[in-house]
């Protein structure tokens, strides 16, 4: 399932969400200018290498859980992550405010990296990407706007369907896919693939960090926005 947009307007322009997207794109554009040797050095220096944190400790590796969340392994990786952040991040920023959202986003990303290291501490494959932090955003959205509607592209074999799904359904399915894939990856050889437990850890962190930041859900939040003729206006320069 691929989210196309959500029917959940915001009150303020999500400047921090835009800034995070711009930073991620900027870092990737820098990565794209590097030759192969410099690119690999960059990934190993600033990506999370679980073994470096769990066993072969080096002070420089302490910063990698932060730097890794602004790096990506390819254009598709970048585009998918930024698309999810674009769709779900603005509402979470709207609910938390910019300062709390920044703390929340970074905290979720750090917890995501910690989860992956704990599950696979011997891995020497660098982990990069904003997926863990964005999983935290999904966890927050799940708590804050379960009744909001998400316009979703659903591919079934060679056919594609577009449906409005409740956010709670979309996010639960997404989380179950991460959980099942993560459990299925246990005990397999490291392949540099998807860090599913970073997604799981980020999502769980997102659920918990809302309470620590003193944010509570309005039970009716998002419900009125799911009505067919509701106020779908959002302060957003992108045509979604």
In this predicted model, which residue has the larger pLDDT, 3 or 59?
3
What does DSSP say about strands 149-156 and 159-166: parallel, antiparallel, or unpaired?
antiparallel
Average pLDDT of the residues in 170-189: 84
Q: What's the whole-model pTM score?
A: 0.85
Percent of the chain topping pLDDT 90: 68
Instruction: Note the CATH number of domain 2-217.
Output: 1.20.1540.10
DSSP state of 62: G
Query: Which sequence spans correspond to the domains of the chain?
Result: 2-217
Instruction: Write out the H or E segment, with its range, that includes residue 2.
Output: strand 2-6
Q: What is the pLDDT of residue 226?
A: 41
Q: What is the pLDDT of residue 191?
A: 45
Cα(179)–Cα(173) distance, integer angstroms = 10
Average pLDDT of the residues in 84-110: 96
Q: Which residues contact 54 (CB under 8 A, 6 or more apart)?
A: 117, 121, 122
Average pLDDT of the residues in 77-100: 96
60 half-sphere exposure, CB direction, 13 A CA radius? 6
Out of 34-38, 66-70, 156-160, 184-188, pick the least confident.
184-188
The tens digit of pLDDT for each residue in 104-114 reads 999 999 999 99
Distance of CA 129 to the CA centre of its chain: 9
């Amino acid at each position: 399932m691929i989210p196309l947009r959500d029917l959940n307007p915001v009150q303020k322009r999500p400047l921090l969400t835009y800034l995070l997207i711009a930073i991620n794109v900027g870092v990737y554009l820098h990565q794209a200018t590097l030759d192969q040797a410099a690119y690999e050095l960059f990934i190993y220096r600033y990506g999370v290498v679980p073994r470096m944190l769990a066993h072969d400790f080096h002070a420089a590796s302490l910063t990698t859980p932060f730097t890794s969340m602004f790096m990506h392994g390819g254009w598709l990786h970048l585009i998918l992550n930024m698309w999810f952040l674009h769709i779900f991040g603005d509402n979470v920023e709207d609910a938390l405010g910019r300062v709390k959202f920044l703390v929340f986003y970074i905290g979720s990303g750090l917890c995501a990296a910690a989860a992956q290291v704990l599950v696979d501490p011997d891995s020497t494959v660098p982990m990069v990407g904003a997926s863990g932090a964005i999983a935290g955003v999904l966890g927050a959205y799940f708590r804050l706007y379960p009744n909001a509607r998400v316009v979703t592209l659903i591919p079934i074999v060679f056919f594609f369907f577009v449906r409005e799904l409740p956010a709670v359904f979309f996010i639960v399915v997404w989380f179950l896919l991460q959980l099942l894939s993560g459990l299925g990856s246990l005990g397999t050889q490291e392949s540099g693939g998807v860090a599913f437990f970073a997604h799981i850890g980020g999502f769980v962190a997102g659920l918990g960090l809302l309470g620590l930041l003193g944010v509570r859900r309005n039970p009716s939040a998002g419900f009125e926005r799911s009505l067919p003729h509701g106020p779908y206006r959002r302060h957003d320069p992108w045509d979604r």
